Amino acid sequence: MCKKETFYITTPIYYPSGNPHIGHCYTTVACDSIARYRRMQGYDVMFLTGTDEHGLKIEQKAAEKGVSPKEYVDEIAEIFKGLWRFMNISYDRYIRTTDDYHVESVQKIFKTLYDKGYIYKGEYSGKYCTPCESFWTESQLVDGKCPECGREVTEAKEEAYFFKMSPFADRIEKLLTETDYLRPKTRATELVNNFIRPGLEDLCVSRTTFKWGIPVTFDDKHVVYVWIDALSNYITALGYLNDRYDDYDKYWPADTHMVAKDIMRFHAIIWPAMLMALELPLPKHLAVHGWITFNGQKMSKSLGNVVDPFILGERYGADAIRYHIMREMALGSDSSFSNEIMINRINSDLANGLGNLVSRTVAMVEKYFGGTLPSEREAGEFDDDLIGQATSLRAKVDGFIEKTQLQNALAEIFKVVSRANKYIDETAPWILAKDENNRARLATVLYNLLDTIRIVATLLSAFMPTTMPKALEQIGADENSASYENADKFNVLPENVTVKKGEALFPRIDVEKEIEELNSIIKNNDEDPRAAKIREELAGVAQIGIDDFAASDIRVGEVKACEKVKKSKKLLKFTIFDGADERTIVSGIAMFYQPEELVGKKILFVSNLKPVKLCGVESHGMILSAVEGEGKDEKLQVLTIDGMPAGAKIC
């Protein structure tokens, strides 16, 4: 390649509405592997990822946490970035839709579309799914519920701007059915039948019911609806209509947008329509993969079925996780995530297959030749087959990378790993080593293995960027020999190559023990929202010393009388015998108890609170209750005790 060709690849920008999970990792790891492979091939790569930070859901989540939406997204965006560092993701740019330059560009894009007559003001009424922030038509609902998340929808109406989609219907249908844009192309039929043929509906592109969005410059009641905001990221991140970056001309149109099927419609129909309206070139490919499911359901934080990628990566190494999710998932289909399948795969492919091939070969070079191969050679049976498979591998992998079929690329590479392991069995170096006359043959067998490992590890380094450099170091490959250029050639390692034994690349995992531990982690993780709330509250309570506790004097009291406090709906006035005297305590529990209900009962009360006047009655203490919930859901029960006399102290 004389002048470097460019290659632009993007992940979706993720919603920071919860922590990232293994599902998010899939798309990002897949894009990272392609980006790394393209760099290795010599392309000038731009790999973009980021977070989609506006919208009602974020506004609500932030409110739940009692922080501003910006504070909320700042925190989660950092968690996403931390995960990508941990997974060794080599993105070139990270876009946040709250970045000023993006906001500015989106406002200009919206205005341009308006000026061109593609955006107009109207009124929307329809079925609205709040969690998905999507309006649906009656026919799109599944059993009357949101087709995306299965939750209830509500009838909603609002003034809104709309984007005219119909002028682009024919071009989009052609794009989907006659070009290589959509991958796999089999998905085109469902898009054409469900959305285009029935008549492309105009898209609602603004909201007035929440504030956390990009304001429409010429009508500040409205904020830009998330999809126009989000999809624009692919061009604003290159500097389209902003001064922050200036590589739009260099990288656009994108070579590959990768997404899962949940957002295919937006990328296959709406995004091309937006670009057509803006008169910009269309991206070359949209690669759509299925979902990683867990027990048959889409993996998601809100379903509580999430496997934390930090935990898995820490236990088995980021590369093992990267390998597993890419190897499991065919482009287009769903794949069920299972800890057991993952661990077995790591053991069989990585520990026994690849790891063992490297460690056995290196160990034999050390054992039989002190670590450095001699120059003598003697060809033999099986060599040509191994060498042929190794040298033809690169072209096959190139082909699958070209088609975004990572699972197939890995399958091809691991065929060569198996072939090499079989070659060890066929040539039996330990038998050759018994006779000094076989020295040249033994050296050849070991050299062939080392040079095969060089090819395999070079091609795999795009997929497993942490461990493959270690494998290459162990077999004595340097930067030049471990290059893409040399990955279709044989006899590249020096004749007298010196190996360097290292740690096991992928230690074997004790399946039973690990499954047990992972299951218990998931169980704790998988707690209900109430438990999560309590956990959060408990974490937020300041610790006290025993003296602080002892400062509250809590005792048993006997309720002698009780009446309502005049002019108050909430207050009851209790006469409590504290073991020595009677005292008055006013308590705000009239919504939960009739006055006579507690008379004769022994309750617990704080005796040493400073007296306060409540609705004109002086209260000398506080009755203790257990409470839960708020508003109409609030529950309350006064703490009572049997078998202890009034005046007994609680400690």
SS3 of residue 15 by DSSP: coil
Please name the helix (run of DSSP H) or strand (run of DSSP E) that holds residue 359, with its range, or none: helix 356-369
Q: Token pair for residue 301?
A: 């934080």
How many C-beta atoms surround the C-beta of residue 395 within 10 A?
Answer: 11
Q: Token pair for residue 630?
A: 């708020």
| Residue 52 contacts ligand MSP per CB under 6 A | yes
Residue span 213-242 as binding mask against ligand MSP, x where in contact by CB under 6 A, dash where not:
-----------------xx-x---------
CB of 139 to ligand MSP, least distance (A): 23
| Residue 269 contacts ligand MSP per CB under 6 A | no
How far is the C-alpha of 615 from the C-alpha of 572, rounded, in Å?
11
Applying the rule CB under 6 A, the residues between 93 and 152 that interact with ligand MSP are: none
SS3 of residue 498 by DSSP: strand
| Residue 283 contacts ligand MSP per CB under 6 A | no
210 burial class (0-12, 13-18, 19+ CB within 10 angstroms)? middle
Q: Token pair for residue 60?
A: 């609500």
Nearer to ligand MSP, 14 or 118 (CB): 14
CA distance to 112, 158, 281, 328, 505, per residue, from 275 (Å)? 12, 26, 7, 34, 46
Nearer to ligand MSP, 262 or 366 (CB): 262
From 262, 366, 426, 517, residue interacting with ligand MSP (rule: CB under 6 A) = 262
| Interface stretch with ligand MSP, choices 77-85, 292-300, 497-505, 632-640 (CB under 6 A) | 292-300
CB of 153 to ligand MSP, least distance (A): 18
| Residue 13 contacts ligand MSP per CB under 6 A | yes
SS3 of residue 573 by DSSP: strand
How far is the C-alpha of 489 from the C-alpha of 36, rounded, in Å?
21
Nearer to ligand MSP, 26 or 490 (CB): 26
How far is the C-alpha of 562 from the C-alpha of 642, rounded, in Å?
19
CB of 504 to ligand MSP, least distance (A): 31
Please name the helix (run of DSSP H) or strand (run of DSSP E) that holds residue 558, with its range, or none: strand 554-564
Nearer to ligand MSP, 300 or 391 (CB): 300
Nearer to ligand MSP, 230 or 453 (CB): 230
From 7, 26, 72, 195, residue interacting with ligand MSP (rule: CB under 6 A) = 26
From 7, 8, 14, 128, residue interacting with ligand MSP (rule: CB under 6 A) = 14
| Residue that the structure tokens 């949101």 belong to | 146
Q: Where are the beta strands (DSSP E) in 435-587?
A: 554-564, 572-577, 582-587
Nearer to ligand MSP, 106 or 216 (CB): 106
| Residue 23 contacts ligand MSP per CB under 6 A | yes
CA distance to 15, 204, 223, per residue, from 121 (Å)? 27, 9, 13
Report the greatest alpha carbon distance in the chain.
Answer: 111
CB of 143 to ligand MSP, least distance (A): 22
CB of 52 to ligand MSP, least distance (A): 3
From 7, 15, 43, 574, residue interacting with ligand MSP (rule: CB under 6 A) = 15
| Interface stretch with ligand MSP, choices 8-16, 439-447, 516-524, 557-565 (CB under 6 A) | 8-16
| Interface stretch with ligand MSP, choices 256-264, 363-371, 393-401, 612-620 (CB under 6 A) | 256-264
Size of the site for ligand MSP (CB under 6 A): 20
Residues 213, 225: contact at Cβ < 8 Å?
yes
Residues 299, 21: contact at Cβ < 8 Å?
yes
* Torsions phi, psi for 335 (to 5 deg): -145, 135
Nearer to ligand MSP, 104 or 334 (CB): 334
Nearer to ligand MSP, 53 or 451 (CB): 53
DSSP character string of 605-633: EES-SPPEEETTEEE-SEE-EEEE--GGG
| Interface stretch with ligand MSP, choices 118-126, 290-298, 363-371, 514-522 (CB under 6 A) | 290-298
From 8, 27, 465, 471, residue interacting with ligand MSP (rule: CB under 6 A) = 27
Beta bridge partners of 335: 292
Each as own residue / partner, the long-range contacts of residues 526-533 (CB below 8 Å, 24 or more positions apart, any chain) are 526/304, 526/305, 527/304, 528/304
CB of 339 to ligand MSP, least distance (A): 15
| Interface stretch with ligand MSP, choices 254-262, 311-319, 343-351, 360-368 (CB under 6 A) | 254-262
CB of 131 to ligand MSP, least distance (A): 11
Residue ranges in contact with ligand MSP by CB under 6 A: 12-15, 23-24, 26-27, 52, 230-231, 233, 259-260, 262-263, 291-292, 298-299
